[in-house]
C-alpha cells in the first residue's frame, strides 16, 4: 500500500517535471524562432489584429465600468475622512499599478487565449500540426512565434487603453455624478502618478503576455498528450478550459511576485 | 539486384503495453508503388509515420538509401524530408486557409520562389487535378473527393520523389474510391514518384500496386507482387484477402 502510494507520487512528480520541461522548451523554441528568417510579418499583423484590435471593445467596456465602480466605492470611503478630493489619485493608482494589467490580461485570456488554445487543439487532433512537420515547416515557429509577438505588442497597448478608459470612468462617477470638482480630479491623477507606476504596469502586462500566450498555445499544442480530459473534441474542450484557468491563476501569481519585487 | 530505397530492419515500437511493431522487416523500392495492407489497428499508419519521422522506433533501424534516418544530422534530415510528401487519412487540410493557401503553403513557407512563380505552380497543379475554380473556397465547402484532390495537389506541389498515402480512400464511395486509385496511378506515372500506400481496399488496391506487404501482429508476414499475394497459401493472408476471420478479434 505504502509502496504503491510512493510509486504513484513518483510517477506524478515525473509527469509534472516533464510537463514543465516541455512548456519551457516550447517557449524558448518559440522565442528563438521570432528572429529566424524569413520574418513572419504578415502573420504577426494578423494575430495582432485578432488579439489586440478585436479585444478593444471588451477592454473598453471592462475599463469604463471598473473605473466607474472604483469612483463610486472610493468616493464613499474617502468622504468618511473628508478626503474625497483624493479620488483621482485612488482611481488612477489602483488602475495603473494593479487592476489595469491584471484585468486586461484576464479579459484577453477569456477572449483570445481560449480561442488560441481551441484552434491549436483542433489543429493537433486533425493532424494539421503533423502535416506541418511532414512539409518541413517548424510547427512551433509557424503557430506560436507570431502569436507571442502579437501578444507582446497587444497586451501593453490594451493595458494603456484600459487605464485611460478606467480613469475616465472614475471621472464620470466622481465628478459628473457625485459632484467632485473635475479640475481637482485631473490634478490629483496628474500629481500622484509617476513614471515608475506606468513602467511597473507595462512590465506586468509584458510578463502576462508571455505567460498567457505560452500557457494557452502549449495547452492546445500538447492536447494529444493529456489523458485526463478525454480525447478528440472532449480533449480540446478540456485543454481550452485548463488553458483559461491556468492562465488566470498564473496572472495572479505573477502579479504578486512582480508587485513584491517592484515595491 | 536493386537495393531498397527505404528499409525497415527489425523495427519495434510499443505504446505502453501495446506492442504495435514487433520486429518489422520491409523493403521499399524506388519508382515503385508499394501497398501495405493489414487489419485495422495492425500498425500500418504507425509504420508510415516512422518513414517520415513523425514517430520514432524503440529499436531496430529505418534506413533511407542505406543510411539510418534517426542518426542523420539535422541539416541532412531536413534535406531528406524535402524528398517526401505525406497524404493524411483525413487530408489534414488547414481549415482556416482557403484552397489556394493550402496548396501553396509548402512553397510559401519553405521555398524561395517568388509569389508569381508560386501562383503559376499552384495553378498548374490545380489544373492537372481538375480543381480549378476552388481557389477561394475553404476545405469545409468541398466534397470528400475534392478534398482528396486538394490534399494530393498539396502533396505534389513540392515535386517530391516519394509520396506516402495513409488510407487515401477512407470514407469515399466506390466510384470515388476507384477514381482516387486511378488518380494515384496516373499521377505516379506522370510525375514518376515512389508511392507507399497504406490501405485495406482489397482487391482494388492491387490494381495499382507493384509490390504488396501485409502486416499482421506487428510483423510483415508477406512481401511480394499483387499476383503473388493473391496466390499466397498463408492462412492469415488468404483469410484477410477473402474477408474471413474471427470478428471478435476486431
How many domains, in total, are found in chain A?
1
Does A7 fall in a domain?
no
What pTM did the predictor assign?
Answer: 0.84
Taking alpha carbons only, the member of A243, A233, A237 closest to residue A126 is A233
Does B120 fall in a domain?
yes
Does B211 fall in a domain?
no
Does A48 fall in a domain?
yes
Task: Name beta bridge partners: B165.
Answer: B87, B197
Between B239 and A105, where is the model more confident? A105
Does B13 fall in a domain?
no
Greatest distance between any 2 Cα atoms in chain A: 72
* Cβ atoms within 10 Å, residue A258: 18
The mean pLDDT value for B222-226 works out to 84
Does A21 fall in a domain?
no
Q: What is the pLDDT of residue A31?
A: 92
Find which of A9-23, A29-43, A155-169, B3-17 is predicted with most confidence, using mean pLDDT.
Answer: A155-169
The whole-angstrom distance between B174's CA and the closest CA on chain A is: 24
Res. A239: pLDDT tops 80: yes
- CB of B117 within 8 Å of a chain A CB? The answer is no
Look up residue A183 and give its three cell numbers: 479640475
The whole-angstrom distance between B40's CA and the closest CA on chain A is: 19
Res. A231: pLDDT tops 80: no
The mean pLDDT value for B66-79 works out to 84
The question of ipTM being above 0.85 is answered as no
Q: Which residues of A touch B (CB under 8 A)?
A: 119, 122-123, 126-128, 130-131, 133-137, 142
Does B63 fall in a domain?
no
Find, in chain B, the residue whose alpha carbon is nearest to that of A122.
B95
List b or e across B2-40, with b for residues whose CB sees 16 or more CB atoms inside 10 angstroms: eebbbbbeebebeeeeeebbeebebbbbeebbbbbbbbe
C-alpha–C-alpha distance, residues B118 and B105, integer Å: 10
Does A92 fall in a domain?
yes
Find, in chain A, the residue whose alpha carbon is nearest to that of B93.
A128
Range of the domain at B142: 93-153
* Cβ atoms within 10 Å, residue A61: 12
Does B98 fall in a domain?
yes
Q: What is the pLDDT of residue A54?
A: 92
Q: What is the pLDDT of residue A25?
A: 93
Does A104 fall in a domain?
yes
Task: For residue range A147-206, list pLDDT tens digits in order.
Answer: 999 999 999 999 999 999 999 999 999 888 888 888 888 998 888 889 989 999 999 999
Write phi, then psi, for B208 (nearest 5 degrees).
-110, 0
Place of cell 488560441: A116
Res. B250: pLDDT tops 60: no
Q: How many CB pairs under 8 A join A and B?
A: 47
Task: For residue range B6-25, list pLDDT tens digits in order.
Answer: 888 988 888 888 888 888 88
C-alpha–C-alpha distance, residues A115 and A263, integer Å: 35
Q: What is the pLDDT of residue B245?
A: 61
Tell me the CA distances in angstroms from A194 to A96, A164, A191, A197, A261, one per residue in order: 10, 15, 8, 6, 18
Place of cell 476507384: B178
C-alpha–C-alpha distance, residues A170 and A65, integer Å: 9
Find, in chain A, the residue whose alpha carbon is nearest to that of B78.
A136
Q: DSSP letter at B37?
A: E
Band (B249; pLDDT cuts 50, 70, 90): low
How many domains, in total, are found in chain B?
1
Taking alpha carbons only, the member of B168, B204, B200, B2 closest to residue B85 is B168
C-alpha–C-alpha distance, residues B201 and B206, integer Å: 9
- CB of B88 within 8 Å of a chain A CB? The answer is yes
Mean pLDDT of chain A: 91
Give the range among A40-54, A76-90, A112-126, B169-183 with minimum mean pLDDT. Answer: B169-183
Taking alpha carbons only, the member of B246, B222, B247 closest to residue B233 is B222
Find, in chain B, the residue whose alpha carbon is nearest to that of A131.
B92
C-alpha–C-alpha distance, residues B241 and B230, integer Å: 8
* Cβ atoms within 10 Å, residue A117: 29
The mean pLDDT value for A20-43 works out to 90
| Nearest CB partner across the interface for B92, out of A126, A136, A142 | A126
Find, in chain B, the residue whose alpha carbon is nearest to that of A127.
B92
Does A8 fall in a domain?
no
Does B189 fall in a domain?
no
C-alpha–C-alpha distance, residues B13 and A256, integer Å: 47
Range of the domain at A71: 40-262
C-alpha–C-alpha distance, residues B22 and B13, integer Å: 7
Task: For residue range A116-138, list pLDDT tens digits in order.
Answer: 999 999 999 988 999 998 888 89
Does A22 fall in a domain?
no
Residues of chain B with Cβ-Cβ distance to A123 below 8 Å are: 94
Find which of A44-53, B10-19, B143-152 is predicted with most confidence, using mean pLDDT.
Answer: A44-53
The whole-angstrom distance between A220's CA and the closest CA on chain B is: 16
Residues of chain A with Cβ-Cβ distance to B158 below 8 Å are: 135
Amino acid at each position: 500500500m505504502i509502496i504503491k502510494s510512493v510509486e504513484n507520487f513518483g510517477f506524478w512528480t515525473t509527469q509534472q517535471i516533464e510537463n514543465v520541461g516541455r512548456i519551457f522548451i516550447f517557449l524558448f523554441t518559440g522565442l528563438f524562432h521570432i528572429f529566424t528568417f524569413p520574418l513572419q510579418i504578415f502573420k504577426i499583423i494578423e494575430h495582432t489584429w485578432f488579439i489586440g484590435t478585436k479585444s478593444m471593445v471588451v477592454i473598453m467596456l471592462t475599463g469604463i465600468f471598473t473605473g466607474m465602480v472604483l469612483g463610486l466605492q472610493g468616493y464613499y470611503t474617502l468622504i468618511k475622512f473628508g478626503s474625497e478630493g483624493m479620488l483621482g489619485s485612488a482611481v488612477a493608482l489602483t488602475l495603473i499599478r494593479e487592476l489595469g494589467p491584471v484585468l486586461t490580461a484576464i479579459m484577453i485570456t477569456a477572449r483570445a487565449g481560449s480561442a488560441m488554445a481551441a484552434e491549436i487543439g483542433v489543429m493537433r487532433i486533425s493532424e494539421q500540426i503533423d502535416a506541418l512537420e511532414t512539409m518541413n515547416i517548424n510547427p512551433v515557429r509557424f503557430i506560436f512565434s507570431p502569436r507571442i509577438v502579437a501578444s507582446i505588442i497587444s497586451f501593453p497597448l490594451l493595458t494603456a487603453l484600459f487605464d485611460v478608459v478606467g480613469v475616465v470612468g472614475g471621472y464620470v462617477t466622481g465628478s459628473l455624478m457625485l459632484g467632485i470638482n473635475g479640475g481637482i480630479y485631473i490634478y490629483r491623477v496628474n500629481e500622484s502618478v509617476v513614471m515608475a507606476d506606468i513602467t511597473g504596469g507595462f512590465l506586468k502586462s509584458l510578463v502576462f503576455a508571455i505567460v498567457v500566450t505560452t500557457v494557452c498555445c502549449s495547452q492546445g499544442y500538447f492536447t494529444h498528450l493529456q489523458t485526463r480530459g478525454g480525447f478528440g473534441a472532449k480533449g480540446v474542450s478540456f485543454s481550452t478550459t485548463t488553458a483559461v484557468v491556468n492562465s488566470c491563476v498564473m496572472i495572479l501569481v505573477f502579479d504578486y511576485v512582480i508587485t513584491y519585487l517592484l515595491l | 539486384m536493386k537495393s531498397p530505397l527505404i528499409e525497415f530492419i527489425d523495427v519495434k515500437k510499443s505504446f505502453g503495453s501495446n506492442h504495435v511493431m514487433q520486429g518489422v522487416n520491409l523493403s521499399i523500392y524506388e519508382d515503385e508503388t508499394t501497398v501495405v495492407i493489414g487489419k485495422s489497428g495492425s500498425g500500418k499508419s504507425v509504420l508510415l509515420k516512422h518513414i517520415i519521422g513523425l514517430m520514432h522506433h524503440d529499436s531496430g533501424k529505418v534506413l533511407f538509401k542505406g543510411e539510418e534516418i534517426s542518426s542523420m544530422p539535422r541539416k541532412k534530415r531536413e534535406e531528406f524530408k524535402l524528398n517526401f510528401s505525406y497524404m493524411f487519412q483525413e487530408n489534414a487540410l488547414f481549415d482556416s486557409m482557403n484552397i489556394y493557401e493550402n496548396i501553396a503553403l509548402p512553397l510559401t513557407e519553405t521555398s524561395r520562389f517568388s509569389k508569381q512563380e508560386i501562383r503559376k505552380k499552384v495553378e498548374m497543379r490545380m489544373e492537372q487535378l481538375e480543381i480549378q475554380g476552388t481557389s477561394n473556397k475553404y476545405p469545409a465547402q468541398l466534397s470528400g473527393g475534392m478534398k482528396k484532390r486538394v490534399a494530393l495537389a498539396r502533396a505534389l506541389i513540392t515535386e517530391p520523389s516519394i509520396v506516402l498515402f495513409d488510407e487515401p480512400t477512407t470514407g469515399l464511395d466506390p466510384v470515388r474510391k476507384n477514381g482516387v486509385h486511378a488518380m494515384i496511378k496516373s499521377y505516379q506515372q506522370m510525375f514518376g514518384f515512389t508511392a507507399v500506400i497504406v490501405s485495406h481496399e482489397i482487391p482494388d488496391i492491387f490494381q495499382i500496386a507493384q509490390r504488396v506487404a501485409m502486416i499482421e501482429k506487428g510483423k510483415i508476414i508477406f512481401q511480394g507482387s499483387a499476383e503473388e499475394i493473391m496466390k499466397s497459401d498463408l492462412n492469415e493472408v488468404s483469410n484477410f484477402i477473402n474477408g474471413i476471420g474471427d470478428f471478435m478479434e476486431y
